[in-house]
Amino acid sequence: MHAFVTQFWPSTIDGLTIGSIYGLIALGYTLVYGVLRLINFAHSEVFMVGTFASLFTLHGLGITHAETGFALVGVLILMGLAGMAGSGITAVVLERVAYRPLRKRGSSRLAALISAIGASFFLQEVFALRYGRDLLSFPPLMNKTVLFHIGSGQVRADKVLVVVAALVMALALDRFVNGSRLGRGVRATAQDPDTAVLMGVNIDRIVMITFLVGGMMAGVAAMLYGNYFELTQYNVGFLLGIKAFTAAVLGGIGNIRGALLGGLTLGLIENYGGSVFGAQWKDVIAFTVLVLVLMVRPTGLLGEKLTRARA
């Protein structure tokens, strides 16, 4: 336990940072599940496409060394927009070609799940064939300046950016879902699609928007991930996607605030656990959490809120 105490602040900072990324990706799982009762397993590849879009933006801008000031802010914004566009469009296309045709035919949820896994492999392989299977590194964009210390923990600018950006995006999403016409349509559809249709809600449009918004959140996560780890790969989404799914379940799948809370909680548990058992145990700890949550509290920390339980 000594390591836990000495590593407490560094673990907390790293846990919140990676947890914010989990949380942003988890939002996509939770939104789609809330509306369609579908686990979009290809969401991990939606994220992956976002990291590539962010990387290509840096290449396109000819970034080779760290920027500062307005240039840095401008590049980060462009990177974020590219990530959102890449991931958002991928998610929408995925819905069109992999899910909607099945939905229109009234296929079972199992068919959609298999389609999701197929789409996931398809996207991975396309990117592997096009860009290779090796790790691709990002040019260093941001100086990893230490802003201040908390205990033995260093609070670095790139980590602060991750946490702040994730919180801002999650707040914006919460506002969209709870305070706008389309958000109301999303919630109405999640609660009772048949009645929503009778009230004139255009379900196809709502589903498209759900995928788009979930994808955009993953795109922001992708930009933050790229800026923080400075690496990506055709299968970068795999482990991260499952972790984010764990975060969504932990927070209560279908619950937007739960997704972020679940992400942060998972990030912290993983890092605290890692400090005690060794960093190589992080993934074991994360998936033990998934199994425990499913066994002990399948509705997660906050329960399902976007939707209501359906038989």
Partner 1 sequence: MTESAALLELRTVTQQFGGVTALSEVDLGVPEGAIFALIGPNGAGKTTVFNLITGVYRPTAGSLWFGGAKISGKRPHEVARVGIARTFQNIRLFDNMSALENVMVGADARHDSSVVGAALGLRRHRREERDGRERGMQLLDLVGITRVAEDTAKGLSYGDQRRLEIARALATQPRLLLLDEPAAGMNPAEKEQLGVLIRKIRDIGVTVFLIEHDMGLVMQVSDRVAVLDFGQKIADDTPSAVRTDPRVIEAYLGAPADAT
Measured from the CB atom, the residue of 84 and 163 that comes closer to partner 1 is 84
Closest CA to 34 of 147, 141, 212, 188: 188
42 contacts 116 by C-beta, under 8 angstroms: yes
**212 forms part of the interface with partner 1 (CB under 8 A):** yes
**104 forms part of the interface with partner 1 (CB under 8 A):** no
**HSE-up of residue 4 (Cα within 13 Å, Cβ side):** 8
**214 forms part of the interface with partner 1 (CB under 8 A):** no
**180 forms part of the interface with partner 1 (CB under 8 A):** yes
**277 forms part of the interface with partner 1 (CB under 8 A):** no
**100 forms part of the interface with partner 1 (CB under 8 A):** no
CA 189 to chain centre: 22
Candidates 3, 167, 182, 242; binder of partner 1 (CB under 8 A) is 182
**1 forms part of the interface with partner 1 (CB under 8 A):** no
Measured from the CB atom, the residue of 92 and 264 that comes closer to partner 1 is 92
Kindly list the distances between the CA atom of residue 212 and the CA atoms of 77, 87, 88, 205, in Å, as whole numbers in the listed order.
Answer: 19, 8, 5, 10
**176 forms part of the interface with partner 1 (CB under 8 A):** yes
**181 forms part of the interface with partner 1 (CB under 8 A):** yes
DSSP 69-84: HHHHHHHHHHHHHHHH
Instruction: Give the type of residue at 110.
Output: L
**293 forms part of the interface with partner 1 (CB under 8 A):** no
54 contacts 226 by C-beta, under 8 angstroms: yes
**96 forms part of the interface with partner 1 (CB under 8 A):** no
Closest approach of partner 1 to the CB of residue 213, in Å: 8
36 contacts 95 by C-beta, under 8 angstroms: no
**81 forms part of the interface with partner 1 (CB under 8 A):** no
Measured from the CB atom, the residue of 145 and 202 that comes closer to partner 1 is 202
Quick one: 36 exposed, middle or buried, by C-beta within 10 A (0-12, 13-18, 19+)? buried
Q: How many residues bind partner 1 (CB under 8 A)?
A: 29
Quick note: the x/- pattern for partner 1 over 138-157, rule CB under 8 A, is --------------------
> Strands, DSSP E only, in the chain?
136-137, 146-150, 153-156, 231-232
Question: Where does this chain bind partner 1 (CB under 8 A)?
Answer: 172, 176, 179-185, 187-188, 191-192, 194-203, 209, 212-213, 305, 307-308
